[in-house]
Structure 1
Amino acid sequence: MILFGLRRAADTVGFPRALRQLVRFGWVQSMSCVFPVVIFVALAATQQLSLPWLSRYDWLLVICLAMQAWMLLAGLETRDELKVITVFHLIGLALELFKVHMGSWSYPEAGWAKVGGVPLYSGFMYASVASYLCQAWRRMKVELVGWPPLRLVVPLAASIYLNFFTHHYWIDLRWWLSALVLIVFRRAWVTYQVGRRRYRMPIVLSFALIGFFIWVAENVATFFNAWQYPNQSDAWHLVSFGKISSWLLLVIISYLIVASLKQVKERRLP
């Protein structure tokens, strides 16, 4: 989510108040992005520093594990959120193993904590997206309006995830799936609170905005050699704009899982 999508549920506000809201929004977003920021700082630091005892990839895994433990102990994440993040870690790691095997990208550096050419820290990059969603959801009191039923949401999310695998052997259905997203979520809105005021935006717009900023983050990550695409083996190049569509669909999966799990939990509460 981003402030450009803010829409008041009531009257418009004056500039001074809007500026205060912008500051509040930025603060909440920064607090929700603690885990991703730590990963980026770790990527930059481990590339520049000479590290003893362990390889760079192994140190990144240690940092991610320590950060995850600290966030739980400090109360920045709840146990339920940790469960959701763990699911994303496993989903992301499975995708990484397949994509590296197919040559979509690579992790050229050595490391002890690598499986099938994939360093285990890579799963935390997906988990950090889930961490952001969970924390922003809680801090901004996110509510969904017009959310489609699970009988539509679950098959759609599963189809999007499977397409990341099957398009290597069959046709790429991403644009058809994107069209289905527009149809299924055409009446869905996300509402959220900044200070005492609530705002809303079409949920499809929130998918696109988050996907775009993850693409920006991906460029930062590849610049610091978190992983390499084939065209980056000799020198760093901007990640293809086509990757935005991939991240958009992956964000949709993340959003659907978080939203569905939260709805299931709410139904179980007395």
Structure 2
Amino acid sequence: MRPIIQLLHFGYHQAMSCIFPVVIFGTLALSSIIKVPFIHRYDTILIILLGVQYLMYRSRLETRDEIKVICIFHLIGLVLELYKVWMGSWSYPELGYTKLLGVTLYSGFMYASVASYMCQVWRRLRMDMTGWPGLTSSVLLGGAIYFNFFTHHFMPDFRWWLTALVFIVFRKTWIIYRVRTVTYRMPLTLAFIIVGFFIWLAENISTFLGAWKYPDQHQTWQLVSFSKISSWFLLVIISVIIVAQLKHVKASRATNVSGSSYT
């Protein structure tokens, strides 16, 4: 009986952590069926997502620090979207007033939803890490991953080299999480793979609902390439690095004690 109770508690916290991603998918689904008069679909989605973020903050489902992380990741995602659309990797074919250089401004929220999940699950499961590689190596690796999303269009794609580096750099890093009074742990790289796979599933749902289109989806919808799992795997790493470092800095300032469970 106890394992079932633990699983239910774990599922509850996971579900609560996914509120914002679920809202995004729900909005995409409803907006593809229900047409709001006098306003474009992309604009409607942006207004709804901004409103939901405000309500989550006012209801204390998200803290001020979590909103800051979400804003950072929204900006990171939007810059990447502007470049990828310019390079023809995918497109937003519908009309909208809230589009910048062909990119709808709500697109950044799809990246920010990953950060929202990370922040929420971190707090709800009272997460910590052991064997964190430190600021220099983690930030350098995260920066290299991010810039490879840009440079692989005109330079060799170092995705698989960077993936190998991830397993090397984070080989000793474990996630510690707590469900009620029980503490669990798993390798951080395994968590990267799991989250990356589920984001790939979400991406298939998003493209099916018309959130954006890849070049091979303009005539008819097709399953997103399995190779995208590796892209999301690497993107998850960037979000974890940002969240983990900010949590580490905040904890260090709060305790004024040198060193922590990350070292």
- TM-score class, shorter: over 0.9
SS at 2:250's partner residue? helix
Counterparts in 2 of 1:134-213, with a 5 A limit? 134-213=119-198
1:13 corresponding residue in structure 2: none
CA distance in 2, matches of 1:81, 1:116: 28
> CA shift at 1:261, angstroms?
0.9
> CA shift at 1:151, angstroms?
1.1
Q: How many pairs align? A: 255
TM-score between the two structures when normalised by the length of structure 1: 0.94
CA distance in 2, matches of 1:197, 1:52: 51
141-150 vs 16-25, greater mean Cα deviation = 16-25
SS at 1:144's partner residue? strand
The yes-or-no answer on 1:107 pairing with 2:59 is: no
SS at 2:175's partner residue? strand
> CA shift at 1:169, angstroms?
0.6
Q: 1:26-72: CA deviations, max 9, x gaps?
A: 11000000000000000000000121121000000000100000000
> CA shift at 1:21, angstroms?
1.2
CA distance in 2, matches of 1:91, 1:97: 10
Counterpart of 1:42 (choices 10, 13, 27) is 27
2:259 corresponding residue in structure 1: none
CA distance in 1, matches of 2:45, 2:173: 38
The yes-or-no answer on 1:255 pairing with 2:245 is: no
Opposite residue 14 of structure 2, the aligned amino acid is Q
Unaligned runs of 5+ in 2: 256-263
> CA shift at 1:201, angstroms?
0.3
Counterparts in 2 of 1:45-124, with a 5 A limit? 45-124=30-109
CA distance in 2, matches of 1:25, 1:173: 36
The yes-or-no answer on 1:214 pairing with 2:199 is: yes
CA distance in 2, matches of 1:53, 1:73: 29
47-56 vs 244-253, greater mean Cα deviation = 47-56
Q: 1:103-146: CA deviations, max 9, x gaps?
A: 00000000000001000000011111100000000000001011
Opposite residue 190 of structure 1, the aligned amino acid is I
TM-score between the two structures when normalised by the length of structure 2: 0.96
SS at 1:269's partner residue? helix
CA distance in 2, matches of 1:31, 1:240: 29
2:260 corresponding residue in structure 1: none
Q: 1:177-217: CA deviations, max 9, x gaps?
A: 00100000101100101121111000000000000000000
Opposite residue 155 of structure 2, the aligned amino acid is W
The runs of at least 4 consecutive aligned structure 1 residues that moved more than 3 Å come to none
> CA shift at 1:173, angstroms?
0.3
CA distance in 1, matches of 2:62, 2:35: 32
CA distance in 1, matches of 2:241, 2:35: 41
The yes-or-no answer on 1:231 pairing with 2:216 is: yes
* Fraction of identical pairs, as percent: 59
SS at 1:138's partner residue? helix
Opposite residue 259 of structure 1, the aligned amino acid is A
CA distance in 1, matches of 2:181, 2:19: 23
